[in-house]
Chain A
Amino acid sequence: MRHIFLLAVVGFATTAPPDKPTLGEWPAVRPAAPVALKPDEPRPLSIDRFRLFWVANYSGTVPLRWQATPLDASAQLDFIDLPNGAPAVGILEGESRAKAHRPPEGVANAVAVWGLSPGRVLLTADGVEEGRIVTLVRVVIAVGGTTQPVPPTPSPDPPTPLPASLYFLILRANGPASPEFATVLANPAWNDLRKAGHIVKDKTLGELGDEYRVPSGTTLPCVVTLKRTDSGMTVVRGPVDLPTTTDAIRRLMEVQP
């Protein structure tokens, strides 16, 4: 019966819709905290000092993930996630950094950030809302105490699409892949194609559907090369045998659209 009771509590534990996630920080730049995020206002952070940031009003079931992206080559900071409700100890070199930090009472989803070398760093917190991964907050940290406003920084995602991308569609028979095929697909040369801005994907004939009909007499596995145009995908090279060597894989890029 106890188990049933617990489940009932979960089932009826409804709350009002949560407010939009907002960034909190300590010590606060301004007296009021949490403050609404303004990504174009960098938060100053002295070298060898720490600052706590947290996200208020986050109601996702998955803990946040903090990420730091240097905006200047020289910029460097260190950070640790602070588990909800648990004291966290940040230990870095030097007397001023060997401190124990506890998030303020009632604060969850916190991160402790230390300044290491001057420059700007973009700190983001990703979470999950309604089954989708979203960036909840962004804040620019000016390590070294810079207080001058900086221009708004472009979002690091989505990545900028590379031009002139080809699409290498690898077709194979239905069912599990053979070890030989898996070995070929694991060749790092495919990543050379990806690094050049192209897309590589394998499909079985069953996954292919009706959009593309493999010419009769084609030996599987094979590679079909397509090119992205304004109106969709165009086949620029029909099926060729799946290359098995590094050089042959790289030569797939030698196609004249």
Chain B
Amino acid sequence: MTTRDFRIPDDLIVGPDRDSLAALAGPANWGIDRFAVKVLSDMADGFGIVVGVIDTGIDANHPDLNGRVIDAADFTGGGNPGDRNGHGTHCAGTVAAGNPQIGVAKGARLVCGKGLSDGGSGSGRGIAAAMRWCAERGATILSLSLGSPDPDPQIDEGGRELAERSIWIVAAAGNSGGGTPNVDYPGRFPWAISVAAVDEQLRVASFSSAGAKIDTSAAGTNVWSCRPGGGYRQMSGTSMATPFAAGVLAMYRSGLIQRRRPIPSVESLRSILRDRSMDLAPIGVDRRTGPGAIWPLLLASDLEPDPFPITTGVAP
């Protein structure tokens, strides 16, 4: 296949890169503070979970990613899973960088399937192969910061197959704004969890695509993360919100495993997200943020033991 159907969304690089984040006040990835990630990471930090990042490759030697990457492979025909675009390394850093200012799920590990070329595009065939390869390497959560307005049968087949094994696939809603009829594929497939982007005030980002298929929202503006070759880059896009959500879900899944709880199917997970998100304006489930922001505090509460069955009635 020579067509190049899928692309990274038009994510925005914000301002100049930095060699160090030391001068920043607070976590560079503001969502770590704003979403109170620590509440969940104190219970489960993602240990035991492998997250597959299908993107433009990865710089596994970045100091914040060193030791976090189990494996990486190329599915674009270039033969090298390295990242000369920067998008993949940025997304991978948000999922599980060792730097507490950057990474959401510090206990999780990464496998990276390069399904997009250095130019940021890739075929459905390559992306589907990368998804399967990540699953073969132990990934139980896949983060796909890519999209297309058109569905691809090979990605659909691969996604359905993986979802039947309770592998959670998180995908970007797209960066086409509020006037769109629906989110991009693969996020629009029923087996995917599609992610919209919100800003520091927890308002929907202007670029974030609208649609009935939005399943959750996450931090997606002005996000600092790893840059190939070392250093850091600040980017905005639903591409950035997607690995944030994947990192939160990695912690949640890790917590379920530690408590020997069953792993929800994708459909059940969607229901959980509906009840365990924090509502954002407009009120209720809506076309911009879905049920609202993925909220670690509410997912942490779900990890607490269940009380029932009750043996007696209500006391007077």
Judge whether B126 and A61 touch: CB under 8 Å.
no
Inside 8 A of B257's CB, which chain A residues have their CB? 128, 131-133
Residue A152 CB within 8 A of the other chain: no
One of B36, B129, B291, B313 near A176 (C-beta < 8 A):
B291
Judge whether A232 and B301 touch: CB under 8 Å.
no
Given contacts A81-B67, A182-B278, contact A234 B311 (CB under 8 A): yes
Given contacts A200-B304, A232-B310, A234-B312, contact A61 B132 (CB under 8 A): no
Inside 8 A of A117's CB, which chain B residues have their CB? none
Interface string of A113-138 (1 = CB under 8 A from B): 00000000000001010011100000
Judge whether B137 and A61 touch: CB under 8 Å.
yes
Residue B275 CB within 8 A of the other chain: yes
CB-CB nearest in chain A for B273 = A176
Judge whether B275 and A201 touch: CB under 8 Å.
no
Q: How many A-B residue pairs have CB under 8 A?
A: 134
Judge whether B66 and A83 touch: CB under 8 Å.
yes
Judge whether A179 and B297 touch: CB under 8 Å.
no
Residue A199 CB within 8 A of the other chain: yes
Judge whether B311 and A62 touch: CB under 8 Å.
no
* Distance A231 CA – B308 CA, assembled complex (angstroms): 11
One of A10, A133, A182 near B297 (C-beta < 8 A):
A182
- Nearest CB of B to A238, in Å: 5
Inside 8 A of A155's CB, which chain B residues have their CB? none
Judge whether B48 and A177 touch: CB under 8 Å.
no
Residue A204 CB within 8 A of the other chain: yes
Judge whether A211 and B309 touch: CB under 8 Å.
yes
Within 207-224 of A, Cβ neighbours of B (below 8 Å) are at 207, 209, 211-212, 215
One of A81, A83, A235 near B312 (C-beta < 8 A):
A235
* Distance A81 CA – B260 CA, assembled complex (angstroms): 27
- Nearest CB of B to A96, in Å: 25
Within 128-182 of A, Cβ neighbours of B (below 8 Å) are at 128, 131-133, 167, 169-170, 174-179, 182
Residue B307 CB within 8 A of the other chain: yes
* Distance A88 CA – B82 CA, assembled complex (angstroms): 22
Judge whether A177 and B295 touch: CB under 8 Å.
yes
* Distance A108 CA – B315 CA, assembled complex (angstroms): 58
Given contacts A63-B109, A185-B297, A234-B312, contact A83 B67 (CB under 8 A): yes
Judge whether B275 and A7 touch: CB under 8 Å.
no
Inside 8 A of B315's CB, which chain A residues have their CB? 234-238
Inside 8 A of A226's CB, which chain B residues have their CB? 307, 310
Within 98-139 of B, Cβ neighbours of A (below 8 Å) are at 107, 109, 125-126, 129, 132-133, 136-138
- Nearest CB of B to A213, in Å: 9
* Distance A169 CA – B285 CA, assembled complex (angstroms): 25
Residue A48 CB within 8 A of the other chain: no
Interface string of B246-264 (1 = CB under 8 A from A): 0000000010011010000
Judge whether B307 and A62 touch: CB under 8 Å.
no
- Nearest CB of A to B158, in Å: 11
- Nearest CB of B to A211, in Å: 4
Inside 8 A of A62's CB, which chain B residues have their CB? 47-50, 70, 109, 138
Given contacts A61-B138, A131-B257, A175-B279, contact A202 B309 (CB under 8 A): no
Residue B314 CB within 8 A of the other chain: yes
Inside 8 A of B47's CB, which chain A residues have their CB? 62, 65, 126, 133
Judge whether B278 and A7 touch: CB under 8 Å.
no
Given contacts A175-B291, A234-B310, contact A201 B279 (CB under 8 A): no
* Distance A131 CA – B47 CA, assembled complex (angstroms): 12
Inside 8 A of B279's CB, which chain A residues have their CB? 175-179
Inside 8 A of B307's CB, which chain A residues have their CB? 167, 169, 199, 201, 226, 233
Interface string of B262-276 (1 = CB under 8 A from A): 000000000000111
Judge whether A202 and B310 touch: CB under 8 Å.
no
* Distance A226 CA – B309 CA, assembled complex (angstroms): 11
Inside 8 A of B125's CB, which chain A residues have their CB? 3
Judge whether A3 and B275 touch: CB under 8 Å.
no
Inside 8 A of A10's CB, which chain B residues have their CB? 133, 136
- Nearest CB of A to B290, in Å: 9
Residue A6 CB within 8 A of the other chain: yes
Inside 8 A of B280's CB, which chain A residues have their CB? 179
Judge whether A176 and B309 touch: CB under 8 Å.
no
CB-CB nearest in chain A for B313 = A235
Judge whether B311 and A231 touch: CB under 8 Å.
yes
- Nearest CB of A to B35, in Å: 10
- Residues in A lying within 8 Å of B, measured CB to CB: 3-4, 6-7, 10-11, 61-63, 65, 81, 83, 126, 128, 131-133, 167, 169-170, 174-179, 182, 185-186, 199-202, 204, 206-207, 209, 211-212, 215, 226, 229, 231-238
**15 A-B pairs whose Cβ atoms sit less than 8 Å apart in the complex:** A6-B133, A7-B136, A63-B109, A133-B48, A176-B279, A177-B277, A182-B298, A185-B301, A201-B301, A202-B301, A211-B309, A226-B310, A232-B310, A233-B310, A233-B311
- Residues in B lying within 8 Å of A, measured CB to CB: 36, 39, 47-50, 66-67, 70, 73, 75, 107, 109, 125-126, 129, 132-133, 136-138, 254, 257-258, 260, 274-280, 284-285, 291-292, 295, 297-298, 301-302, 304-315
